[in-house]
Chains A and B, each alone.
Chain A
C-alpha cells in the first residue's frame, strides 16, 4: 500500500536484531499449584528475571508489600490482579501473563490451585501446550499432584514440567528431589501421553529458574527457563489430518465465493481433494486467499480464506476436511464434561452447544459417572455440580462432525451455554460416538394453518411460518421442527444440514 502515511524503516544494525525478534516462536503454558506452593513467586520471578516487569510496576508492588509480611520485593504481588483478591491474598481467576526471551514469547495462564477451582485449572489448560506443576519439596507429592496431572492429561497437554520448589528449605537435598520424582512418575504411569521434565528449583532464591544453580551441582539438567525455551510443542495438531471449520462465507461480489476460517490441524494445498462435513460432498481446493496475496498451501494455525473448484452450498459451522481422512459424524456423543456453573447439570435439559464455529442444541441424555478428582474413581451420580468432571452422553440436534479430543483438540472440544442465562456452563471433550447412536429423533411437531400461513412448531415453541411471502426460519431450533415435520411426511427436501434458509 503506497501511502505518505507509512513510516520509513531505517537499516541500522538494530534491524538485524529485529529480524530475529520478529521471527521467534510462541509457547503457551499453564501453571498449577496449591496456595502455598510458591506459584505466584515463581511466575513473578520469571517475569522479573526476563525483564518483563517495569520499574514503576515494581515500585508499586514494593510499596504494597510494606503492608504484608514479605521481604524487599514480594514477587507474588506482581501477578495479583484485582484489588479484592489482593486484599484477600488469594487469586480467584485465570490471569494471563506475558514475557519473552530472545528465543520465545511466552503466554502464561496462571491458575489458582485451590481445591474448589478445578474450572480455572481447566480453563487455563485448554489453551496451553505445556503445564508446570509445582510440588513443595518439604511436603512431597500430594493428592493434588494427581489432580493436576489428571487435568493436564484430560485437556490434552503433551508436556509437563514438575518444578520441585523450595529446595532451599530442604538444604538443596538430592534425595528429597529424587523421591518426589519417583513418586510423581508413579502417578504419571496412568497418563502415558504426557512427557514430563523434573527440575529442582527455589523460586524465591532463583535457583534453576533462569540459570543453573550452583547450590545443586548434582542436577545436570536444564534450568526451568532453558527447558521452556527449547521444548518442542504443537506437533500433534500439525501431524493430524486437515480440518477447517468454516467461520464465514465471504461473498463481496458475484464473482467471489470463499470460506474464511483457520486451519486447526494438518495442512492444505491448492488442488487438495476435500470433503465437506456433515454433507459429505467432495471437491478440490481452488485458491488459498490472504490479504497478502494467494498462497499455495497453508499450515496449522493459519487464518485464511479457501475457495473451492465447484460451487457447493456450505455455510458457517460446516467443516472442510481432507477427503483422505474424514472426521466422524454422530448425533449422540460420549463426552467428558467439566461443569463450570453454580447451577448443576440437568439431565434432559437442552443447552446451546458450540463446537468450533458451529452453534447447535444439545440435550444431556445421561451422566455415566462422575469422577472423583482426588482418587480418580468413578462415582454413580445423576448430575454434575460446579467443578465436577464426569462422562456424559450428549445428543446434538444436528449431526456433529468431530474427532476424538485426544487426537484433535480443535474439533473434539465444545462448550455448553445455558439458553436462559447465556452463561457458559460446561467445557466438553468428545470421546467417541455413543453406542446408543440413533439416526432419527422425532420430537412432537404440531402443524396449523393461520390466516393462510402454514405454521409448524415443535415442543420447545420455536416455529416456522410458510406463507405467500416465503418461508421464515430464524433459528436452528425452528429448522429442526420443520425437518421433523417433513421427515414425518417422508419428504427429504433438505440438503444435508443446511441451516441458513432465507427464501
Chain B
C-alpha cells in the first residue's frame, strides 16, 4: 500500500471541507482575492465538485487599488473555468476619497476591505464565506478554526469558537450569524507553491520576477501604479528586477528583489528565504498583534 504524499493528503482534506460547506450551508460564497491561495482554492473547488460546476459564486472585494494585472487575470481566469464572479466595492468610501495615504492604512483597510466585505456578505445573504487564509501566515491564526464562527455583526470572538474534532465540522448557525471557512488551514506557503507547481495552476504574472518601475526606499520597493503615491523630493522610479511575494493593493504591497521568473526558481528562493510572507505587507506592522485586532473587527 503506497503512502499518500503530504500534498495529496492536504488536497483531500480541503476537498472534504468544501463539500461539507456545499452540503450543509444555505448560501455559501468563495472569497476570491486573485492571489496564489485563491488560485489553489479554485482548483480545489473544481476538484471537489467535478463533474458538476462549482456550486457557489466567487466574491471579490475590489478596493479599486488592486494591480491592473490582477484584475485582468481575475476576469480572464474566472471566465475560462466558468465560475460565477461577483465584484463588490465600497463606493461610498471611494467617493469620500479613501486611499491609504489620505486615510492612513488602518482606516483605508477598514473601509475598503473590512466594511466592504461585511457589506458584500450581507447584500448577498451569504451564511458561509470560504477563504484562503492559512494558519501559518501569522501567529494569531494558529488557533483559528477551519469553520470559524462569526456573530451577527460578522465579528470574531476568540472565546466563542467551537472545538473541532476529527474532521467532523459543526456548521449550525442561527439566522444572521455566519461562518468563515478556511480549507487551506493546514497548508503552508511552501505547500501552496509546491501544489501550484505540481498541478500547473495559473497564477497572476506579478508573482514572477521581471523589470518593473519601483520607488526604491531603503529595503522597500514601492509600486507606483496609483497616481496618489507620494514621492520624496527629486525621487524617480527605477527599473528593478523584482516580484511580489503576496498580492494586495498596489500602494500597500511591497515588491521583493528577485530574479525568480519560474515556479521552481520561486520555490528555490522561498526555501532559502528568511523573511515571512507578511513582512512585505505594510498593513501588518502598525502594532504587535495587529492581525488579531483586525480579525475581531471582522477582517478576514
Contacts and interface: CB of A to CB of B under 8 A. Distances in A.
A31 to B, nearest CB: 13
A355 B172 CA distance: 14
A316 to B, nearest CB: 6
Contact of A98 (B136, B143, B173, B265): B136
Interface string A399-432: 0000000000110011101000011100100000
Nearest to B196: A7
Contacts of A57: 139, 276
A54 B50 contact: no
Contacts of B50: 289-291, 305
Contacts of B80: 1, 3, 5
A413 B143 contact: no
B23 A316 contact: yes
A385 interface: no
Contacts of B186: 96, 98, 107
A12 B19 CA distance: 38
Contacts of B241: none
B188 A100 contact: yes
Contacts of A104: 6
B237 interface: no
Contacts of A262: 12, 15-16
B162 interface: yes
Contacts of A69: none
Contacts of A148: none
Interface in B268-292: 268, 273-276, 279, 288-289, 292
B122 to A, nearest CB: 20
Q: Bin chain B's interface residue count.
A: 35 or more
B164 A123 contact: yes
Given A100-B190, A424-B162, A248 B22 contact: yes
A81 B2 contact: no
A119 interface: yes
A417 B171 CA distance: 10
B262 A9 contact: yes
Given A54-B275, A82-B158, A252 B202 contact: no
A83 interface: yes
A365 interface: no
A107 B80 CA distance: 35
Given A54-B276, A301-B4, A424 B194 contact: no
A340 B168 contact: no
B173 A422 contact: yes
B48 to A, nearest CB: 7
Contacts of A302: 4, 8, 12
Which of the listed residues A60, A256, A267 has the most CB atoms from chain B within 10 Å of its own CB? A60
A348 interface: no
B232 interface: no
A256 B4 contact: no
Given A7-B263, A9-B264, A22 B2 contact: no
B5 A22 contact: yes
Contacts of B3: 25, 234
B52 A105 contact: no
A18 B193 CA distance: 11
Contacts of A134: none
Interface in A6-49: 6-10, 12, 14-15, 17-18, 21-26
Which of the listed residues B165, B201, B279 has the most CB atoms from chain A within 10 Å of its own CB? B165
Contacts of B7: 22-23
Contacts of A79: 142
Contact of A22 (B16, B194, B275): B194
B228 interface: no
Contacts of A454: none
A359 to B, nearest CB: 8
A268 interface: no
B101 interface: no
A56 B280 CA distance: 11
B1 to A, nearest CB: 5
B292 A83 contact: yes
B20 interface: yes
Nearest to B46: A291
A97 B142 contact: yes
A26 B185 contact: no
Which of the listed residues B49, B52, B141, B198 has the most CB atoms from chain A within 10 Å of its own CB? B52
Interface string B196-217: 0110111100001000000000
A119 B161 CA distance: 13
B170 interface: yes
Contact of A15 (B4, B20, B264): B264
Given A119-B163, A123-B164, A250-B49, A21 B194 contact: yes
B264 A82 contact: no
Contact of B168 (A26, A105, A303, A354): A354
Contacts of A357: 20, 23
Nearest to B204: A5
Nearest to A293: B50
B168 A252 contact: no
A413 B264 contact: no
Contacts of A12: 262, 264-265
B174 interface: yes
B137 to A, nearest CB: 11
B17 to A, nearest CB: 10
Nearest to A415: B168
Contact of A5 (B76, B264, B289): B76
A64 interface: yes
Nearest to B49: A250
B275 A93 contact: no
B120 to A, nearest CB: 24
Contacts of B88: none
B199 to A, nearest CB: 9
A484 interface: no
Interface of B: 1-12, 15-16, 19-20, 22-24, 46-53, 73, 76-77, 80, 135-136, 139-143, 158, 161-168, 170, 172-174, 185-186, 188, 190-191, 194-195, 197-198, 200-203, 208, 262-265, 267-268, 273-276, 279, 288-289, 292
26 contacts: A5-B202, A7-B208, A12-B262, A14-B264, A18-B264, A18-B267, A23-B5, A24-B5, A25-B4, A26-B5, A64-B288, A80-B139, A83-B288, A83-B289, A96-B185, A98-B188, A105-B191, A120-B163, A127-B167, A248-B22, A250-B51, A250-B52, A258-B51, A410-B167, A415-B168, A423-B162
Given A10-B262, A54-B273, A258-B51, 5 more contacts: A17-B268, A18-B194, A60-B288, A262-B12, A422-B170
